Structure 1
Amino acid sequence: MKHSIDELLGIVYRYYPRGVGLTKDGGIDVQLCKNTEEHARLVATRIQASKDERWHSMLRRIAERFPGMLMNHSLHLPTGGWDGCYSFTIDLPRSTGEPIWFHVSFLAPYYIVHSLRTVEIVKQTKDLFAVEFRDVRFLVHRSPFDPGFVSRPDDSLRSAAIGKSYASFELLPEQQPCAEWISRDIETTFGCERMPPEIGTVLVPDVTAGLGLPGEIRLYDCLFSDQHTWVKPSPREMPAPGVNIEASNMTDSLVAVLTVLAATYRIAWTLMPEVQSGSSYWVVTTDGVLHKEEVTKALAKIRLLLESPKTPRGIAAKRELEAAARELEALIASWDGEGEPPAAMVAWASRFLATWPVDSGADRP
């Protein structure tokens, strides 16, 4: 190796800001990362790398040597989009394995060769289920086996096999001659050497890459690409899966709650340009119980949106939406917030949904 771990980390920190991008809720603010000197340097390096004739000449040689087998995965580089490397695959016609991946870093003088493998891990399902109801997708934070919410639990859903792909650096025998030929060309063209997994999988503290959180990011993610999983996943690392249930399997009480929520959010979404444009996908998250405070907050937002509607449908149907909002406000005001939603509220929601069909396009979340 031409560099020590500390020297490689020093290279990473030139292109990835340390301690930037984490939000209070543990997520990642990608824009904060992009607004840094380090990211600007990374983007400029990507664009410059896209113009390197050595890369284009090497691709032509490999394409001639392996006709019809090469796929260039770096066409995005002129935009400065992502990755710290050139990437391409070779799909050998007589190989029983996945295509061979080649990554050549333009941030450090190293390259890697791998192929993807898939591992299946059986996990117990978590206390969460999804259901499509009244043209709305709901995520219900309850066990799909709770008889209070699911009338006919399906025991076959208690566990699920999750398939996860990861990078394997052990190639099949029929892949090795191709990998060796291309590796020699890479080394001759760029004067680089292969980075072994024991180095590339070292964790990098204090930085994010893509959607990876600090403590999850590896040298491979930063110097090459964050599009792969570089270590074989263990059962402990895999998240428990949720399940989908049929609307016909919901209990009457859950049907009542979701009916009111569907009507409430249908009014709000009709008035929201980001939903109507189809630029985002919206779901409703619930614990399966109707909360007076939640509906009251939604109504307050609806009132603001109704003051000056911004969507064509909202403008055209302003009076109808105002009337619907007033009815719901009256029903919520007269409800003590305990137990299931009143029958009158469910009846109102059912009538509204029946007379307010979903558009074939933009109105669907």
Structure 2
Amino acid sequence: MRITRSELLDVVYRFYPRGVRNFERIHVPPNEPFYDDTEEHRRLVDAANRGRAEYLTWKAMIRRVGDRYSLQSESLSLLAGGVEPAYSARIYRPKDSGPVPSLSERASLSFHVSLLGPYYGIHDRGEPDEISAAVAEEIEATYPGYRPIPPELGNEVVPDVEMDGALMGNATIYVCLFSDKWTWVDPV
């Protein structure tokens, strides 16, 4: 089944209020909507709570992937009580075929499993290899029914949504469904 723009925007708008700036309460005038008090934000908090409750499934999957590749979980803020829309991890790999490079000499691939809907994403800035396909296979085996968001949809800007890490007019569908961690992969 093909993912549509409309489907993804429906998910985004279910968890992020339209046109409401994500300011601290002290900066919001009286009688103006406060981001954290919106129904959409409450749904996002509930999704993050479900993510914490189901974290062992994610942990087992990243352990399996980590047995094959140099991996770093980016979901610790979720465990610490953060309001995250997805589980996230990053894989490091050498930029070239020379001796094993130091961490600062590695490119990375990030992958994310949304807590807001049955979607995942793999953000790969490295040379094509088998890692992206192996990660996709592992995600689909662990989370049956989850589908990748195609770049032509995921990179689309959602102009009327603001969130942590993305000001109004800068949030993409990828960032809304996976957090600003989507942008954290290192360039090649």
TM superposition score category, shorter chain reference:
0.7 to 0.9
CA contact (8 A) 1:83 1:226 kept: no
- Report which structure shows greater RCO (CA 8 Å, sep ≥6): 2
Could you tell me which runs of 5 or more consecutive residues in structure 1 were left unpaired when the two chains were aligned: 22-27, 116-167, 231-365
Between the aligned partners of 1:3 and 1:187, the Cα distance in structure 2 is 16
- Partner residue of 2:23? 29
Contact 2:123-2:182 at 8 Å conserved across structures: no
The answer to whether 1:204 aligns with 2:186 is: no
Could you tell me which runs of 5 or more consecutive residues in structure 2 were left unpaired when the two chains were aligned: 26-33, 97-105
Following superposition, the deviation at residue 198 of structure 1 comes to 0.4
- Is the alpha carbon distance of 1:8 and 1:228 closer, same or farther for their aligned partners in structure 2, counting shifts above 3 Å? closer
1:177 and 2:180 correspond: no
2:61 is equivalent to residue 58 of structure 1? yes
Q: Secondary structure at the match of 2:18?
A: coil
Q: Which residue of 2 aligns with 1:111?
A: 120
* Distance 1:79-1:43 versus aligned 2 partners, 3 A rule: farther
User: Would you say the 8 A contact 2:120–2:148 is kept in 1?
Assistant: yes
Which residues of 2 match residues 54-133 of structure 1 at below 5 A?
Answer: 54-66=57-69, 69-92=70-93, 94-96=94-96, 97-115=106-124
1:140 corresponds in structure 2 to none
Match of 2:168 in 1: 214
Aligned Cα RMSD in Å? 2.1
* Residue pair 2:51, 2:115 contacting (<8 A) in 1 also: yes
Q: Deviations over 1:51-98 (max 9, x none)?
A: 2132122122112233xx111100111344143111111112x44451
1:1-365 pair list within 5 angstroms: 2-21=2-21, 28-31=22-25, 32-52=34-54, 53-66=56-69, 69-92=70-93, 94-96=94-96, 97-115=106-124, 168=125, 171-173=126-128, 176-191=129-144, 192-229=146-183
* 1:199, distance to aligned residue in structure 2 (A): 0.6
- For residue 49 of structure 1, give the secondary structure of its aligned residue in structure 2: helix
User: Which of the pair has more CA radius of gyration?
Assistant: 1
Q: Equivalents in 1 of 2:9, 2:48: separation in Å?
A: 19
Kept after mapping to 2: 8 A contact 1:43/1:80: no
1:211, CA displacement in angstroms? 4.5
